Structure 1
Amino acid sequence: MHPLIDPEGLAAMLASGDPPTVLDVRWRMSGPPGAESYAEGHIPGAVFVDLDTALAGRPGAGGRHPLPDPERLQRTLRSAGVRSGHPVVAYDDADGSVAARAWWLLRWAGHRAVAVLDGGYAAWSAGNRPVTTTVPEPVPTGIKVTPGRMPVLDTDGAARCAREGVLLDARAPERYAGEHEPVDPRAGHIPGAVNAPFADHTGADGRWRSPAELAERFAELGVTGDAPVGAYCGSGVTACSVVLALELAGAGEWPALYAGSWSQWCRDPLREVITGTQPG
């Protein structure tokens, strides 16, 4: 399944006799809660899945949004109606990065038939397509989660990737440079990491950039296919959009996600922190 689907394609799938499972994963760091937006209106048949409680584990030593426990994720997917081999479409109402987390996590869990709605809820609503406040009651499934189907970096692996390959930092430039840090206890970036803001993956209309544009962007950042590539962000969520963008760009092998990301790295006093606009 292609990692992106446009609203027209989703509408056609929903009108078919065997529609996909649709996951509403709207979330905002500073609120309001995505569940409130879901209650006000969502794509017909969509099931709300919360990032903090379902698509991530408990905050702690592993970061603010560590990977969820596989058994817990399996219960979530089963209750949401996700079936083995059956298409899943995830959407948010921002830049696609939270939907990309759902996409990545399903891939990591062994479910490959998953796509992100290009343009998200805004693109769906802009076409005067139907929305509803009705909450569906999915039939529970028996899907099995098989973790580890996407590469993951630990802290040592992230440091090694920055030295020997290309480690992409998906945060905004001011957070990368250490000029502004609204969440984590230390500001800056991992030594050797290259800034690749996730906001640059989409255009002003919220749609993902073309494969050619993305390929050019990553080439400028040093992604040539000759060295390992990893990605991180603040807590391991928006970095998933880097992985998706690299897939769209035809980068080849899957880049590895540093799931703990900056929220894990910066809490270790033995880990060096770099400030400024250069990788260091």
Structure 2
Amino acid sequence: MTAQTRRWLVDADELARLLAGDDPPLVLDARWNLLGPDGREEFEAGHVPGSRWVDLEHELSGHDDRSRGGAGRHPLPTPEVFQAAMRRVGLDPGRAVVAVDGGALLPAARLWWLLRDAGHDRVQVLDGGFAAWRAAGQPVETGPSAAVAPGGFVAGPPRLPATDAAGVQQALAEGRPVVDVRAAARYRGDEEPVDPVGGHVPGAQNLPSALLFGQDGRLLPPAELARVLGDLGPEPVLYCGSGVTASQTVLALAEAGREDGVLYAGSWSDWVSDPGRPVQTGG
């Protein structure tokens, strides 16, 4: 793939054409609110026709001893949990998927990452999310998802780069980049609206995820993403508050032609769960 090729994103008009075709994708809506109720109510108020809602908190995250990436607020689900979720929404092996969220490409990118990690590469993300779908004048459906027969999706063994706190420490010791993609104020520790401790992993650099988007709220074109992300060294370890925004940055790297982004799924919420781990504030 070259940096000019759009592989992992689809726009609203193209999604509409795909849905009208002979092999329509399964649209999965992962809308979610960080500080509010889950996204089910928003989904039922309006969504892409035929789409099905998935729950980031309970289906795209895992909270047991086998979760990858450490603890934290949104560690990765086990393959069994994720497989059950994808079967619930009727996904079969080989079927195309388009992941949708409200527009920021956060939970949709987490779903994209999980599907690829499980061996299901036929997945794209709706650029601009449901907001872009509405802005394009496309039809909207309301109400809950229709009942569907369980799918036959099988989650393969994990295959995408992911790490935990020990892996972050090893990367720093080896001189590999560790990148905090939260806003600069949270990175510096000036404010921390979610986690109990502010600051960042000592030695981590800051690349706020907002830099990956244009004024229209959509991900930058591949060549511009390559420019913004160009200073990152090989195999960058990416973290945020709880691993969701970091998935978005892995998606941006992939759109720029790089498949070497390493997800620290536990992220800052996992790092500060151990008071013995160092914390740095300031720039």
TM-score over 0.5 for the pair: yes
Deviation at residue 212 of structure 1 after TM alignment: 1.4
1:150 aligns with 2:160: yes
Letter aligned with residue 167 of structure 1:
V
1:101 is aligned to 110
Q: Distance in 1 between matches of 2:169 and 2:272?
A: 12
CA distances 1:69-112 after superposition (whole Å, capped 9, x unpaired): 21111111011111212110011113112211110011111111
Q: Distance in 2 between matches of 1:148 and 1:229?
A: 19
Q: Is the 8 A contact 1:120 1:206 kept in 2?
A: no
Deviation at residue 204 of structure 1 after TM alignment: 2.3
Q: Is the 8 A contact 1:97 1:198 kept in 2?
A: no
Letter aligned with residue 266 of structure 1:
V
Letter aligned with residue 95 of structure 2:
H
1:190 aligns with 2:196: no
Letter aligned with residue 74 of structure 1:
Q
In structure 2, list runs of 5 or more residues that go unmatched: 1-5
Comparing 46-55 and 196-205, the one that deviates more: 196-205
Residue 238 of structure 1 aligns to a residue whose secondary structure is helix
1:12 aligns with 2:23: no
Deviation at residue 143 of structure 1 after TM alignment: 1.2
| Superposition CA RMSD, Å | 1.6
Residue 55 of structure 1 aligns to a residue whose secondary structure is coil
Q: Is the 8 A contact 2:10 2:127 kept in 1?
A: yes
Q: What is the TM-score of this pair, normalised by structure 2?
A: 0.92
In structure 1, list runs of 5 or more residues that go unmatched: none
How many equivalent pairs are there? 272
Written as runs of structure 1 = structure 2, the 5 A alignment for 1:73-92 is 73-92=82-101
Written as runs of structure 1 = structure 2, the 5 A alignment for 1:86-235 is 86-134=95-143, 135-163=145-173, 164-219=175-230, 222-224=231-233, 227-235=234-242
- Given the alignment, which residue of 252, 266, 272 partners 2:272? 266
Deviation at residue 32 of structure 1 after TM alignment: 4.3
1:110 and 1:58, CA in 2 relative to 1: closer, same or farther beyond 3 A? same
Residue 113 of structure 2 aligns to a residue whose secondary structure is helix
2:48 is aligned to 43
- Given the alignment, which residue of 252, 268, 273 partners 1:245? 252
The percent identity for this pair of structures is: 48
Q: Distance in 1 between matches of 2:148 and 2:209?
A: 33
Deviation at residue 28 of structure 1 after TM alignment: 1.1
Q: Is the 8 A contact 2:103 2:127 kept in 1?
A: no
Q: What is the TM-score of this pair, normalised by structure 1?
A: 0.93
Deviation at residue 59 of structure 1 after TM alignment: 7.9
